[in-house]
Chains A and B, each alone.
Chain A
Amino acid sequence: MAYLDHAATTPVLDEALEAYVATAREVGNASSLHASGRRARRRVEESRERVAAALGARPSEVIFTGGGTESDNLAVKGIFWARRDADPQRTRVVSSAIEHHAVLDGVDWLGRHENAEVGWLPVDEVGRLHPDALRAELAEHGERVALITAMWANNEVGTVQRIAELAAVAVEYAVPFHTDAIQAVGQVPVDFAASGVAALTVTGHKLGGPVGVGALVLARDVAAVPLLHGGGQERDVRSGTLDAAGIVAFAVAVEAAVKGQQEYAARVAALRDDLVRRVRQAVPEVVYNGDPDDRLPGNAHFSFPGCEGDALLLLLDAQGIYCSTGSACSAGVAQPSHVLLAMGADDDRARSSLRFSLGHTSTSDDVDAVIAALPGAVERARRAAQRTPR
C-alpha cells in the first residue's frame, strides 16, 4: 500500500494519540468549578498556549472549534455579520475562486441568503492571487467590504500564496483578512502575527492530530458573531463543552508539526521532486499543475491528457496506490475541479487531473510504487476515454 493522500488526512502522530487517550481517561468539564474541572481547564489552557506559541498568536486569540469547516464558517459568516452589524453598508465579501468548499460555499451562502455581494479575485495560471487585484477591488469597493477570505495554500494544486503581501493591502483599507491555512500549517512557515491576517483557520487531522478538532485564530480586536450559541465558551464565540482530549492532542500535533516544519519540508519536497521528475519521464505529456516552485512540499498535482482522473484513481486504487482527483461531491460524481477551471484549464484538463500528496509517513518506496503502476494505468485510462467519448 502506498498512501499518497495526506492532504485529505494524514496519520495521527503517536504522541498526539497518547496525549488524547491519557486526557480522555480523565473526567472533567473545563467549565466546572471543582478540581476535576480545573484539571481539564488546565489541560485546555496549556494547549491553547502551545498552539498560540506555535502559530505566532496570543493565547486569547485561539478559539478551539470542531475542525476546519467550522472555523472557516465561523470566520466567513461570523465576521461578515459582525462587520455588517457595526456598519450596515459593509455587505460585500471578497474571496477567490480557488477556495475550498468550506469557504466557497459559505461565501456563496452569504450571497444567496444575506444579500451579500461577492467580489471574486482572479488567479493566474498557476493559481496565484495578486495583490494588485485585491488593491483594485478595495480601491473600488473598500468602504463596503466586510471581509476578505483567501487561502494560504491551495489543497488541490498546492500553490502557496504570498499571504503577507495580500494582508498588507487589507490592512491599508482596514478590512479584516481571513485565511484558511489548513494545508499550510506544518508545511510552510506560518506566523499569525507576522502575516498580518485578522483570522486564520487550522485543523488537526491534516498535521497529525485527530479529526474533529481545530481552531480559528482570531485577532483580539476582530469581532465575530457566533454560529453556535450556548454556554459562552471560547470568548462567547464558540459555545459547547470543550473537547479537552481532542484539544490536547491537537496542540501536541500543531507543536510537533511547526517545530519539525523545516526538516519535514526539505525531506518531503525531495521525495516529491523525485516523484515529479520520474512521472514526467514515464509520461512525457503530463502537465504539472500549480506553481512549480512556490508550492506545498508534499503536493504533486498533474493532468494526464486524454485520461479521466477517476479512471486513473480506480486503476491505481486497485494496485494499492491511494491518491485523489482532488474534487468530489457528496454523491461521488466527479466534477471538473473548480480550482483548475479558475486557473484557466479547460474541462478536459480539469477532468484529467490527479493529486498525489505526500506527508510525514511517506518514503521513497511510495514513490517507486507510483512509478511502477502509473504508466500502465495511464495507457489503460486513455484507452477507456477513447472508448467512451463524453
Chain B
Amino acid sequence: MRVLAAMSGGVDSAVAAARAVQAGHDVTGVHLALARNPQTYRTGARGCCTLEDSRDARRAADVLGIPFYVWDMADRFHADVVDDFVAEYAAGRTPNPCLRCNEKIKFAAVLDRAVALGFDAVVTGHHARLGSDGLLRRSVDAAKDQSYVLAVLTREQLDRSVFPLGDSTKAEVRQEAAARGLAVADKPDSHDICFIADGDTRGFLAQRLGETPGDVVDATTGAVVGQHAGAYAYTVGQRRGLHLDRPAPDGRPRYVLSITPKTNTVTVGPAEALEVSTVRATRPVWTGGPRPDQPIECEVQLRAHGVVVPAAVTVDGDQLHADLRRPVRGVAAGQAIVAYRPDPAGDIVLGSATITD
C-alpha cells in the first residue's frame, strides 16, 4: 500500500511509521502544522504543534529514509477544533478536542487529501487495534488505550486507517524506538490540550469569551452560594475551584451538577445528585456491527479514561439512548459515549455518539 504516516514528532507516530515501512508499505511522512503561529506554541513536549516537534518528526522520517513534508492545516484546525472547543464550552458543554481533531482533521481533511494524492491509507501512532476484521479494539495497553477518541470514526474512515501500535504497550514502543535509533525514544508523552500551551484551559477560555460573572446556586436549597467569573469555566462533576462562600448545610463537599448558559448559572450539589442512569446522545456512529434498533447489552465509557459500565444501548435515527446498569457520576454533555463489546482479543468499539444529556 501507499500510505501516509502522520508524524507528530512524538515516539508513537515515529514507531508507527517505522512499522509501516517494515511491513513493506510505501510510506510518506507528514507533519501537520496545526498552530497558526508555531513560535507561540513552543513549549517543549506538551503538544504536537511546536517547531521542535516538527523537527523531531523530520529527523525520525530521515532515519527511516522516507519522504517527509509539512502540511499546513492550521486554518482548518482552528475552525474545526479550536473554535469548536470554545463554542462548546460557551454552550455549557465539555468538548473533547482530540476526538474532534481525529474526526475533522486527521481522518478527514488529511485523509481526503491523501486519498486524492494517490495514497491508500493514513497511518497514525494511536494506541488502538484495527485488524483485518475491520473492528476497532482497545489497545493491549489499557492505560494508553485511545480507542475512545477514535470511536467517532466512520466505516469509510476506518477502512483507510492503519494503527500499527495496538498490540504493543507504550514501554515496548519506547524500547523499539530506542532499538531503531529514533531520538524521540525518551521524549515525554504529550498531554493536556496541544493548543493550550500553558495548560490553563480556564484562562484560555476567559481570553476568548471574556469575564461573565454569575451566580453559583445550590440545587438543594436554591440559594446563591457563590459567584463565578464565567460559567464556561466549569465542568459537570467538578469539585475543586468552586470558591463557595458558604459550606453546605450538611457539611459535605459539593460538585458542579449543571451549567446553564442562558441564565449564566452554575448549579452545585451533593455527589449523589451527580448520579446519572440514562444518557442521551446525538450523531451516532456505529462501526462494530449492525445498528441496534433494539436495546443491546454492552459496556459504555462516558469520558476519556473514564470508568466503564454495563448498559443497554439503542440507536434511533440520529439519537442514541443508553440505560446504565449502574449509575455514573459526572456525565458531561459534549463528551462522547462509546459503546464496547467485551472481547478477549480486545474490547470491540461498537459505536459512539455525542452526549446531550
- State the A residues within 8 Å of B (CB): 310-311, 313-315, 317-318, 330-334, 380-381, 383-384, 386-388, 390
Contact = CB atoms under 8 A, between A and B. Distances in A.
A331 B33 contact: yes
B261 interface: no
Q: Describe A's contact surface by its main secondary structure.
A: helix
Contact of A383 (B54, B71, B116): B116
Contacts of B72: 333-334
A388 B113 contact: yes
A384 B69 contact: no
Contacts of A332: 31, 33, 54, 58, 69-70
Interface string B19-39: 000000000100101000010
B69 A380 contact: no
The 9 A-B residue pairs with the shortest CB-CB distance in the complex, in nearest-first order: A384-B116, A332-B70, A387-B116, A388-B113, A333-B72, A387-B112, A383-B116, A333-B33, A384-B117
A317 B115 CA distance: 17
B34 to A, nearest CB: 10
A134 to B, nearest CB: 35
Given A314-B28, A314-B69, A318-B28, A331 B54 contact: yes
B109 interface: yes
A388 B109 contact: yes
Interface residues of B, number: 21
B67 A387 contact: no
B249 interface: no
A318 B115 CA distance: 15
A340 B67 CA distance: 27
Contact of B117 (A314, A331, A333, A334): A314
Contact of A330 (B28, B51, B109): B51
Contacts of A331: 33, 38, 51, 54, 70
Nearest to B71: A310
B113 A384 contact: yes
Nearest to B68: A332
Contact of B116 (A317, A318, A380): A380
B247 interface: no
A384 B118 CA distance: 9
A390 B38 contact: no
A390 B75 contact: yes
B51 A315 contact: no
A216 B319 CA distance: 71
Given A332-B69, A388-B112, A315 B117 contact: yes
A380 B33 contact: no
Contacts of A390: 75
Given A314-B69, A387-B116, 4 more contacts: A314-B117, A331-B51, A332-B54, A334-B70
Nearest to B114: A384
26 contacts: A310-B71, A314-B69, A314-B117, A315-B117, A315-B118, A318-B28, A331-B38, A331-B51, A331-B70, A332-B33, A332-B54, A332-B69, A332-B70, A333-B38, A333-B72, A333-B74, A380-B116, A380-B117, A381-B117, A383-B116, A384-B113, A386-B116, A387-B112, A387-B115, A388-B113, A388-B116
A313 B67 CA distance: 11
A387 B118 CA distance: 13
A383 B112 CA distance: 10
Interface in B55-72: 58, 67, 69-72
Contact of A380 (B67, B70, B109, B118): B118
A334 B70 CA distance: 8
Interface string B94-125: 00000000000000010011011110000000
Nearest to A382: B116
Nearest to B117: A384
A332 B74 CA distance: 13
Given A331-B70, A333-B72, A388-B109, A311 B117 contact: yes
A334 B30 CA distance: 13
A333 B70 contact: yes
Contacts of B38: 331, 333
A107 to B, nearest CB: 21
